[in-house]
Amino acid sequence: MHFYDLFFLGVALAMDAFAVSVSRGLRTTRFRPGEGLALGATFGGFQALMPFIGWLLGASFTGVIEKYDHWIAFFILVILGIKTVWETAREKDDEAAGRDEPLKLRTLLLLGIATSIDALAAGVTLTVSEIPLWVSLLVIGGVTFVLSFLGVFLGNRFGSVFRKPACYLGGIILILIGVKMLLEGLGILAF
């Protein structure tokens, strides 16, 4: 594996985290760099941790992990997406204009797990890489951090104009990512 292969692996693994970050940015009335940093650090940390765990487990447990990772991600993302759509439908317009729901630690950790669980299998490929493991993990985590922070920023810029429709869109994005991950895991879609 060359460095550019590693970089594109990092980008590919970060796409779900980026989409979830855009979704979160859509739900905020103002951009808060701290929230972007929190999402970036959580997603980047999980994207670095999961391949490390995959590297440690090696090929012996990869089959077991791959059997269930898409189901876990599906349930977490669909539940969070439905919750987002439900809460948006229930809030009054005057509440929506001035209220930002803070990101809860539990939600942040669940999103981190859901968006990075597929990276466990990618960690197995790092066992045959010529690039030192710590460099691989740093690149994967760093790329995810940057893309997640950027996703919150971009989502907020779009969402500040159309907040309530953007909240619906954010919830639907979470649901669609969950469905996409499930269909890929079942072999119905190949991306």
- Give pLDDT tens digits for 95-128: 444 446 777 899 889 889 888 887 876 776 676 6
Mean pLDDT over 75-104 rounds to 69
* Whole-number Å distance between alpha carbons of 61 and 54: 8
How far, in Å, are 37, 39, 141, 152, 153 from residue 34 at the CA level? 5, 9, 18, 11, 11
Q: What are phi and psi of 160, to 5 degrees?
A: -70, -25
Q: Could you read off the pLDDT of 15-72 as tens digits, one per residue?
A: 888 888 888 887 777 788 888 999 999 999 999 999 898 888 765 666 666 677 778 7
Among the listed residues 82, 86, 74, 83, the one whose alpha carbon sits nearest the alpha carbon of residue 104:
83
* Whole-number Å distance between alpha carbons of 68 and 63: 9
Between residues 139 and 7, the one the model is more confident about: 139
Sorted by where each begins, the domain ranges of the chain are: 3-185
Q: Could you read off the pLDDT of 123-146 as tens digits, one per residue?
A: 766 766 778 889 999 999 999 999
Q: What is the pLDDT of residue 115?
A: 83
pLDDT tier for residue 149 given thresholds of 50, 70 and 90: very high
Rg (CA), the chain: 17
